[in-house]
Amino acid sequence: MSVRLVFLGPPGAGKGTQAQLIASQYGIDQLATGDILRRNVRQGTPLGMDAKRYMDAGELVPDDVIIGMVERELQDASGFIVDGFPRTLAQAEAFDALLERMATPLTAVLLFEVPRQQLVDRLTGRWICPADQSSYHLVFSPPRVTGECDLCGTPLVQRSDDTLETVTKRLSVYDEQTTPLIEYYRRKGNLIAIHAERAVSDVTAEILSALSQLAGTGA
Ligand code: ADP
Ligand code: AMP
């Protein structure tokens, strides 16, 4: 089945973790704007140099930069999961216009709901693989070998914006700038809430079940 999904939710809700699992299960692309930006920062591209100061401060990178980047990166619109985008109403509207031009409507927007304290605990204990971007957690989702990626063995690193101070800022930016999207997509009728506070495998099962129900209704 070809699906086009947005994973919406606060930082630390498990969007990237689930996007990697679901995208590989469905054989579709995963487009995470945060990952693309971090790759540009590492490579020292003009885009990365421009974005870095916003990312370090826990603020959003300007809409025009992000929208242009997504338009360039979204190659195969037959099936994808976008994670971390859109994050503002302007981004959501530009994304709708892009999808309309490509005649590829969204299948659904999954809203990841997690209590606030759990988000902080998840983010401050997160370790990522700099090679394939997979996420681990010291306690909740440890790698099989301490400090190494399960998939490729690369040494894990902590993100510089996963400090308590920047996490607090990122969560307040989410509240102010991204939560209006919940109502935006609810009005369009394609929002599905996910109990993302549960264990990784339970969340995956809930998403797969929601998607198979959608397939059953022909959505
Ligand atoms: P996001 O992409 O939404 O910012 P991540 O997928 O990177 O979030 O997950 C944030 C942190 O929480 C990571 O350390 C990850 O291993 C951990 N995590 C993800 N899903 C769960 C879960 N269901 N229960 C506990 N920890 C989780
Ligand atoms: P993430 O990996 O999704 O947690 O994003 C990390 C950082 O990248 C954010 O704090 C923002 O600075 C920036 N970023 C990622 N996606 C977007 C977006 N859609 N709009 C604006 N900034 C973004």
Residue-range domains of the chain with CATH: 4-28+77-115+175-217 (3.40.50.300)
**Is 4 part of the annotated catalytic residue set?**
no
The helix/strand/coil state of 159 is coil
Collect contacts of 129-132 with beta carbons under 8 A, ≥24 apart. 129/154, 129/156, 130/42, 130/154, 130/156, 130/157
- Alpha carbon nearest to ligand 1 atom 25, residue: 140
pLDDT of 32-85, one tens digit each? 999 999 999 999 999 999 999 999 999 999 999 999 999 999 977 789 999 999
In this prediction the pTM is 0.96
**Is 87 part of the annotated catalytic residue set?**
yes
pLDDT of 107-136, one tens digit each? 999 999 999 999 999 999 999 999 999 999
d(CA 112, CA 129) in angstroms, rounded, equals 22
Task: Report the nearest atom of ligand 2 relative to the CA of 33.
Answer: 16
The helix/strand/coil state of 76 is coil
Cβ-based neighbours of 177, under 8 Å, separated by 6 or more: 60, 87, 88
